[in-house]
Amino acid sequence: MSRFLEANPELLSRFAQAYLARWDTYPYQLPDGAYTRAQSIRFDGAKVYPPLTMAHVVHHLRGEQTLGAYILDANNITTRIVLDDDSEQGLDRLRELAQDFHRQGIPSYLERSSRGGHLWIHTPPLSGMEARRIGIHLLSAHHLTTKDIELYPKQNSLQPGQVGSLVRLPFGKHLKTGRIYGFIDLDGHDLAERRRDQLAIVSAPKRVSQGVIDQLLAAAPAVKQTFHLDPKEVKRYAGDVPPDVKIKRAISPYDFISQYVDLDPTGKGLCPFHDDHRYSLKVYEDGWHCFAGCEGNTIIDFYIQWKGYSSLKLASDDWKTVLLEMLKLLGL
Ligand SMILES: [Zn+2]
């Protein structure tokens, strides 16, 4: 593989282009299978995130280091949608989806994983929200949700400084099993016998056409844009009521938080404040909580975390700014 990669630098850059969203920072796999974001400490003690280089990608393809691929770039744009099914029958289920997508003019590439597989769909540039809308729509046609099959990108958009969720970069050695998993075709056979030939095929992927994307977006239910305000309720508490009380009375935590996170009917969803795979976020009648330790409280605290504001003191100017933003958002 090494000499082959050296002899084919354009292939390497096509591979990187097709599967990597950003170069300013990168994640890699630890021996236990978990991923961590590469970081180092500068001489003055500051934490810095080193950039990804082509040398890292070569190490990855040689099986010397295993990289993860962030799905959203720093501007919340992606050119891929990934479905990750790690259930027992995951690979077969993804292959059925791939066959159906193929009939709809949606090319996809199916890679085995330690359990199940990853289905890569290459697209024209999409916002995180558009990619998720399409992904949720494609799943729902098969009576599946993002609880059955994980959908990447997992975030509609990133908070400042965040990188979002990642998928193992294809052909990476899974450090826990020691295996490298390849791609299979719609019939379940290896996409090509040799890994270098698979690499060549998936590095020049067929993309979903803009026409099909437009059709999918037109068919996918739009994310709710309006808040469910009960006009009577708003009126009753207008006047001398403090703004934070006004905000909390104007909208239920479920209606507010579901504008930002996909919530199931019981109020559970993926926490947007950590790399959540376990539906740690729970919304209650009077607030929310993340069981993985992101705390929680009122919708105002949710909004503060979402916007990336931190440690706001009550009555500070920042606090007032947040309240004014929310009042405006809610049309109060
Ligand atoms: Zn959390």
Interval between CA 122 and ligand 1 midpoint (Å): 29
pLDDT in tens, 224-282: 433 444 445 445 445 567 888 888 888 888 888 988 888 887 889 999 888 888 899 99
Interval between CA 153 and ligand 1 midpoint (Å): 17
For 253, the enclosing helix (H) or strand (E) is helix 253-257
pLDDT in tens, 116-136: 999 999 999 999 989 999 999
pLDDT the model gives residue 234? 45
pLDDT in tens, 7-38: 899 999 999 999 999 999 999 999 988 899 99
Whole-model pTM: value is 0.73
Interval between CA 31 and ligand 1 midpoint (Å): 24
Instruction: Please tell me the number of Cα atoms within 13 Å of 233 on its side-chain side.
Output: 12
Interval between CA 272 and ligand 1 midpoint (Å): 6
Is the pLDDT reported for residue 223 higher than 70? Answer: no
Interval between CA 283 and ligand 1 midpoint (Å): 12
Considering the chain, tell me which residue range(s) the CATH 3.90.920.20 domain(s) occupy.
2-216
Considering the chain, tell me which residue range(s) the CATH 3.90.580.10 domain(s) occupy.
231-329
Interval between CA 136 and ligand 1 midpoint (Å): 22
Domain 231-329 has CATH 3.30.1310.10: no
Within 161-242, residue ranges assigned H as helices are: 195-202, 210-219, 231-237
Interval between CA 232 and ligand 1 midpoint (Å): 34
CA distance 86 to 26: 23
pLDDT the model gives residue 222? 64
Question: Taking all residues of the chain, what is their mean pLDDT, rounded to a whole number?
Answer: 88
CA distance 149 to 72: 19
For 137, the enclosing helix (H) or strand (E) is helix 128-140
The answer to whether 205 and 18 have CB atoms below 8 angstroms apart is yes
Average pLDDT in the 209-232 region? 72
| Nearest 10 degrees: Cα torsion 323, 326, 328, 332 | -90
In CATH terms, 2-216 corresponds, of 3.60.110.10, 3.30.930.10, 3.90.920.20, 3.30.230.10, to 3.90.920.20
Q: Which of 47-56, 200-209, 229-238, 249-258 has the lowest mean pLDDT?
A: 229-238
